[in-house]
Amino acid sequence: MPEKRLPISAGRLREIVAQHPTPLYLYDEAGMRQSARDLAAAFAWAPRFRNYFAVKATPNPHILRLLAEEGCGADCSSLPELLLAERAGLSGEAIMFSSNDTPAEEFVAARRLGAVINLDDVGHLGYLELHAGLPDLISFRYNPGPLREGNAIIGRPEEAKFGCTREQLLAGYAAARQRGIRRFGLHTMLASNELDPGYFVATAQMLFGLAAEISRELDITFELINLGGGVGIPYRPDERPVDLAAVGAGVRAAYEGTFGGAGLPPPALALECGRVITGPHGYLITTVRHLKTTYRSYAGTDASMANLMRPGMYGAYHHITVVGKEEAPADAAYDVTGSLCENNDKFAIGRTLPELAAGDLLVIHDAGAHGHAMGFNYNGKLRSAELLLERGGGARLIRRAETVDDYFATLV
């Protein structure tokens, strides 16, 4: 099987671990910047293109700041995410606020920052007006229901809690226009970790067609169309990354086919990709603590599901490298586990690896998105540090590890 590689040598990684005990997250700055540039290049043709990086994927202001330098905005869904974007130096329409079941104070914060507000329900228009006032631009999230298929992570659109039907959109935009709104956006988000380029092209065709229909029916103009995110990454070594150039070319054909000669002003185009930007460039580093054999062999590590939930939650595959044994034969099978009092606290089940010993350093790959962000404190587990592997080779601490004092800090 092909092997995934680290952006640094085994020796350099050991130096980092000697300073910052495992478990820890390590993010590759150069890789994240390059991914942001690759996505921007695929959509360089699009008017005023912007990727609103999904803050929920990797909510750290140091990472948001370096992605902002690459032209990314921030896709936020809560008050803390809005504040993270602000602390990273983002404001105005460089922020898109897409939430659901939204409290009033979050709309107030989004209005203060001048963010693009993307409403999940047409009934939220009056709620927004009452509590925060109406902005110049209003967007709604579309849910196509049975017209499209989702995937395993998000599920079937008609069963999803997100978004509005076509009929609700018509009513929502008409109500916004009656309230004096003259700038409009349209958004959808239908899949997560999707590897088929054609899926995103089909989504674009659907959304462009819908925008054209609503424009004609209501005599309004769409200034912004956000195609959502969901571009997947190859978690398994034998999987191929999404061909972003092919996605960009397919979306361009659909865009020009809809807006090229229809007399409609060409809207700005946006995405809200997170995983494809940071996912492949984040690594959970952990140490083998104990080895155990009963009915099968177990490698117990100092990390747990509290550090990386995806394998236990979704049965997701994350590749594992044994540092210093990259060329050794993978002739032993292990369940790679943490120490939670839950049997699904496993990073891998029956994974063939080189023979392990206590003290071996493991790299769990493709953990740069929805990894540390989904951490929790069950069983009193403390969340790990995050380090940024800088382009010059330095490793900078960008979030310290939690302490026992942190765990007790909120108790009254």
Q: What would the DSSP string read from start to end of 52-94?
A: EEEGGGS--HHHHHHHHHTT-EEEE-SHHHHHHHHHTT--GGG
| Residue 94, in any domain of the structure | yes
CA–CA dist 322, 412 (Å, integer) = 43
Encoded tokens for 352: 């063939």
Does one domain contain both 97 and 114? yes
Does one domain contain both 124 and 237? yes
Among 207, 240, 273, give the residue marking a domain's end.
Answer: 273
Asked if 157 and 190 count as a contact pair (C-beta separation under 8 A), the reply is yes
**Tokens 């659109």 correspond to what residue?**
157
The total number of structural domains that make up the chain: 2
Residue 265's Cβ-side half-sphere holds a number of Cα atoms within 13 Å equal to: 12
Encoded tokens for 311: 């394998």
pLDDT of residue 147: 56
pLDDT by residue for the chain (412 residues), tens only, comes to 568 999 999 999 999 999 999 999 999 999 999 999 999 999 999 999 999 999 999 999 999 999 999 999 999 999 999 999 999 999 999 999 999 999 999 999 999 999 999 999 999 999 999 999 999 999 999 998 865 455 555 556 666 668 899 999 999 999 999 999 999 999 999 888 999 999 999 999 999 999 999 999 999 999 999 999 999 999 999 999 999 999 999 999 999 999 987 678 999 999 999 999 999 999 999 999 999 999 999 999 999 999 999 999 989 999 999 999 999 999 999 999 999 999 999 999 999 999 999 999 999 999 999 999 999 999 999 999 999 999 988 999 999 999 999 999 999 9
**Tokens 């999803």 correspond to what residue?**
160
Does one domain contain both 75 and 163? yes
pLDDT of residue 260: 85
CA–CA dist 174, 411 (Å, integer) = 49
pLDDT of residue 3: 80
**Tokens 């750290």 correspond to what residue?**
60
Does one domain contain both 74 and 20? no
| Residue 293, in any domain of the structure | yes
| Residue 38, in any domain of the structure | no
Does one domain contain both 267 and 385? no
| Residue 295, in any domain of the structure | yes
| Residue 369, in any domain of the structure | yes
Does one domain contain both 296 and 172? no
Query: Could you confirm whether 273 is annotated as catalytic?
Result: no
Q: Is 334 helix (H, G, I), strand (E, B) or coil?
A: strand
Among 249, 273, 297, give the residue marking a domain's end.
Answer: 273
pLDDT of residue 150: 54
Question: Could you list the residue range(s) of the whole structural domain that residue 306 is in?
Answer: 10-26+279-408
Does one domain contain both 100 and 242? yes
Does one domain contain both 336 and 249? no
pLDDT of residue 263: 79
Q: Any bridge partners for residue 119, and if so which?
A: 140
Give the CATH number for residue 322.
2.40.37.10
